[in-house]
Structure 1
Amino acid sequence: MTDTTETPVIETPRTILRGHKLSDFDSFVAMWTDPLHTRFITGQPLPREEVWARMLRYRGHWQLLGFGYWVVEEKETGRFLGGAGFQDAKREMEPSIEGLPEAGWGFVSAVHGQGFATEVVGAMHEWADRHFGGAKTVCIIDPENVASIRIAEKFDYRETARTTYKGSPTLLFERG
């Protein structure tokens, strides 16, 4: 990928996907300390220090790899809704997914079930299809996270392995 400092802005009918700003930090903390948000991702709320590191990592991906995570905000109100995008987290897992763009998405629990994930994941994959040139992307999902599995399958991800990550059962999906 390319070395860049700009995060592209993507608009959907109800959202704007944009780069992280320092002013997003409190909303980011609120999301990552919500047990409903973290139950299938980290298993527990994150301390502020780890939320800060995560926010810096998401922004840094764009600068180093030319892809990363976007903040998702509601177009009409500017309300913080969550985040979505691609990363290379250098995860220690088998089979290895290192070097592959790993898709991910997460939304504040107040908007679960309102169709934002479908809208945003569709938009980010349209972007990926143009920028990754049809290259394979992956995602990992907790086997109990039925909603995210449905979203992944809706965008042509197919389960390719049942593995573990950090000692927890994990499903590996591939697209492309």
Structure 2
Amino acid sequence: MTERPVLSSERLLLRPHRLADFERLVSLWSHPVVVTHFGGKPFNREDSWNRLLRYAGHWQLMGYGMWAVTRPGEDIHLGDVGFLHAERTGVEPFGCPEAAWAFHPEAQGQGYASEAVACALEWADTRFDRTVAMINPANATSISVARRCGFSIFGEATYKAEPVGLWERLRSSS
């Protein structure tokens, strides 16, 4: 099995997902605020279960994946951050890992997303020359996170009949 590392930042711990995270994943991915820019339709328990399995499977098959974000000592799932390889219908493969993040509404607006993404990118910089992100153009918050973390737009695509911005970040030279 591929090692699933634990990362930490000033205020956050990024750890592998656990079975115990499932109910918080259901809560996250069924919340209307969270899914607004992910098609607008809340995900059901089955979708969240499949997401949890996908998170674990990415590490096994790809050697990278998503982390559960918590605060040290609290172990309450605040959100998801990391990298994926998505085989999407209608979107050309990127040829590199795709960065992704989503946070519970109560964890939004506190800088956690930018901090967690920066932490994950520090890990990625030891492995990948380039990462990308696919962001709904109406998702100003995620666009701000992407910009703060060094991503810049390189194109546009359509996914599930919706426009998406394609963002990229090259390995940090520092």
Bucket of the pairwise TM-score, normalised by the shorter protein? over 0.9
The answer to whether structure 1 residue 127 and structure 2 residue 127 are counterparts is: no
Residues 1:140 and 2:134 aligned together:
yes
The reply to whether residue 116 of structure 1 matches residue 88 of structure 2 is no
In the alignment, the residues of structure 2 paired with residue 71 and residue 150 of structure 1 have an alpha-carbon distance, to the nearest angstrom, of: 21
How far is the alpha carbon of 1:163 from its aligned partner?
1.6
Gapped runs of 5+ residues in structure 2? none
Query: Distance in 2 between the 1:110 and 1:55 partners?
Result: 21
**Any stretches of 5+ residues in structure 1 without a counterpart?**
none
CA-atom RMSD, angstroms? Answer: 1.2
TM-score scaled to structure 2, two decimals? 0.93
Residue by residue over 1:105-155, the C-alpha shift from the partner in whole angstroms, topping out at 9 and shown as x without a partner, is 0000011110101110110000000122xx211100011100110111112
Which residue, out of 22, 37, 44, partners 1:25? 22
Within 1, Cα distance between the matches of 2:93 and 2:81? 18
User: Which structure 2 residues correspond to residues 1-176 of structure 1 after superposition, within 5 A?
Assistant: 4-94=1-91, 96-132=92-128, 135-176=129-170
CA distance in 2, matches of 1:137, 1:29: 27
Q: Would you say how many aligned residue pairs link Structure 1 and Structure 2?
A: 170
Shift of 1:98: 4.3
Question: Is the 1:91–1:98 Cα contact (8 Å) retained in structure 2?
Answer: no
TM-score, structure 1 length as denominator?
A: 0.92
Deviation at 1:6, TM superposition (A): 2.3
- In 1, the alpha carbon distance for the partners of 2:13 and 2:150 equals 23
C-alpha contact (below 8 Å) 1:97/1:138 kept by paired residues: no
The 4+ residue runs of structure 1 with deviation greater than 3 A are none
Give the counterpart letter for 2:134 in structure 1.
Answer: I
